[in-house]
Amino acid sequence: MTGTSRGRPARGRRLPRLATVVFIAAVSGTALVFQRPPRALPTDSPPEVFAAGRALRHVQAIAQDPHPLGSAAEEPVRAYILAELKALGLEPEIQQPRDARPPGPEARSDPSRRDVRNILARRRGSGPPSKKAVLLSAHYDSVTRGPGAGDDASGVAAILETLRALQAGPPLERDLIVLINEGEEAGLLGADVFAEDHPWAKDVGVVLNLDARGNAGPSYMFETSDGNGWLIEQLALALPHPMATSLTMAVYRLLPNDTDLTIYKRHGMAGLNFAFVEGLSYYHSPEDIPANLDPRTLQHQGENLLAMTRHLGRLDLDDVRRGDVVYTSLLQQLVVIYPQTWVLPLMGGAVLAYVGVMMLGIARGRIRRSEVVAGFGIFLLAMLAAVLAVGGLWSVLSDRLYRMGVIVFRPDLGHGSGMLVSRFDIALLTGFAVLAVGIVVVIFVGSGRRWSLEGLGLGVLGWWLAVTVAASVWLPGASYAFVWPLLAILAGQAVAFTVTQGGIIALLASWLGAVPLLVIHLMILPGIFHGLNLRMAGPLMIPVVLVAAALVPLASQVLNRR
């Protein structure tokens, strides 16, 4: 045992502890701030940019009343969109299903595929007409319960404002096909009618689909077609504020949601899917009104569509499929991309790094094998304690909050099984997360009295290694979220093992080692809190505990007593 700093008086440790807390708070705060949607631009913005102020006018016109498929309220909405497209110099047409009969009175109460009236328009590009086109897709029908400002008047408005901005800029080479479809809410009907029946469907090179499951938050590019390597590269080049990770495909499959991209993909089209997911309590509700739609969200959604259309519109889209990639945006500033073929070698590197760092710690006399084993077990204990505590608290609270009206049961959500929603969902989940982190802190600080935290920290990283291996094998798109933080923390710990524990070099190395963890996971956690929401309150604490416990190696440099 070197134990150089173990005898140091408590006063000398106070400054590094405080500095470490400030550092963690600063990096976390930066990560959280840099995922907010951009500032909404006003109506008098330059003509070639996307301005939420201008797009909001369309949302207000479309989302006045509920206008589900087959309802009379669809007619003024359709007329408005047709007039706006004509005002943009386009020649819109209505597409009806090939086997359409005039909708009888029964169709009003039972909306069906034959009621679908898709609005279609084509803007010719300057290039050869035989080249594949860009398809812009959103749906103009709402659910019966609400007027659908977020879902999906925002998407229609984003397309209209994008078309206007494109006219003010340089011409595109590729054709643009505009599909403002009907019947998405009744079962993705409009997209199906287009893909099955329309001759333009075979001209589509890339689909850009816009939808929503809420009324606020950033616009995520959350789903792609298979073979997305090239498309993600273009996204990285095009988007000014990218929010995209290959992890969302995995999470999205857990949700009982589908969008029109499901249909387009089934018909072999390549594409990108954009949506925002904050504000679940507004989704498909009477309160999904224009005044409740966050203009910054509309700005982000529209800015993504315009930038992507402008970029793809000058590229050859005849063959866009390449190998799948692992990717994540960082702080809305850049997108890190690498081929999926790197995933297993990286996993192998992580295994070697873990074993190497553990052997270094043992050789330097800083940790014992028994402490690593203890850390492995204590993590499991902390995880169980946090999940059970939060699960128990939630079952007690949910009943009470339901009676108080803070939580409401929405039978229409969750594909028939219903869901509990609340306007305070994220506040509640954040409270639960604070409790879970508190449990982790208490358990590990207490265990640190008996075992060295450096040893316990390597035990925790054993779990990170296990999750890295599992993700690399079964969920390669999610593997980046585990392998890079693990490698960085291991690198910090390797440096710490070669210098004085708790010294300035060890501390700096541990700080730097924790940065990828905080930046990557403070983008993922808010996303999955909004996406999975209250019904997953207990299980959502698993990633919270995993992230909190990964800070044990850093804590071992400032709480280094046995």
- In the complex, the residues that contact Zn ion under the rule CB under 5 A are 151-152, 211
Q: Which is nearer to Zn ion, 211 or 425 (CB)?
A: 211
Instruction: Rank residues 152 and 454 by Cβ distance to Zn ion and give the closer one.
Output: 152
Shortest Cβ distance from residue 212 to Zn ion (Å)? 6
Q: Which is nearer to Zn ion, 63 or 315 (CB)?
A: 63
Q: Do you find a cis peptide bond into 412, omega within 30 degrees of 0?
A: no
Q: Rounded to 5, what percent of the chain is helix, strand, coil?
A: 55, 10, 35
State in angstroms the smallest separation of the CB of 97 from Zn ion. Answer: 20
Closest to Zn ion by CB, 123 or 213: 213
What stretch of H or E contains 120? strand 118-123
Residue 152 or 278 having the CB closest to Zn ion: 152
Nearer residue to Zn ion within complex by CB, 84 or 151:
151
Helices (H) and strands (E) in the chain, counts: 18, 11
Least Å from the CB of residue 145 to Zn ion: 13
Helices (H), 226-364: 229-238, 248-254, 260-266, 295-312, 343-363
**Structure tokens of 151?**
């879902």
In the complex, the smallest distance separating the C-beta of residue 153 from Zn ion, rounded to whole angstroms, is: 10
CB of 217 to Zn ion, least distance (A): 15
Q: Compute, in degrees rounded to 10, the torsion defined by CA atoms 413, 415, 416, 417.
A: -80
| Strand 204-212 to 133-139 pairing | parallel
> CA 510 to CA 24: how far, in whole Å?
11
Q: How far is the CB of 152 from Zn ion (least distance, A)?
A: 4
Question: CA–CA distance from 293 to each of 2, 31, 181, 276, 479 (Å)?
Answer: 59, 24, 21, 11, 34
What distance in Å separates the CA atoms of residue 234 and residue 130, rounded to the nearest whole number? 22
Distances in Å between the Cα of 409 and the Cα atoms of 142, 212, 399, 465 are 21, 20, 11, 39
- Beta-bridge partner residues of 93: 120
187: tokens are 């079962």
Pick 162 or 447: Cβ nearer Zn ion: 162
Closest CA to 468 of 339, 558, 343, 378: 343
Of 190 and 553, the one with the shorter C-beta distance to Zn ion is 190
Least separation in angstroms between residue 210's CB and Zn ion is 9
Tell me the closest approach of the beta carbon of residue 155 to Zn ion, in angstroms: 8
Name the residue nearer to Zn ion (CB basis): 195 or 347.
195
- Minimum CB separation of residue 290 from Zn ion in Å reads 16
Q: In whole angstroms, what is the distance from residue 489 CA to residue 518 CA?
A: 11
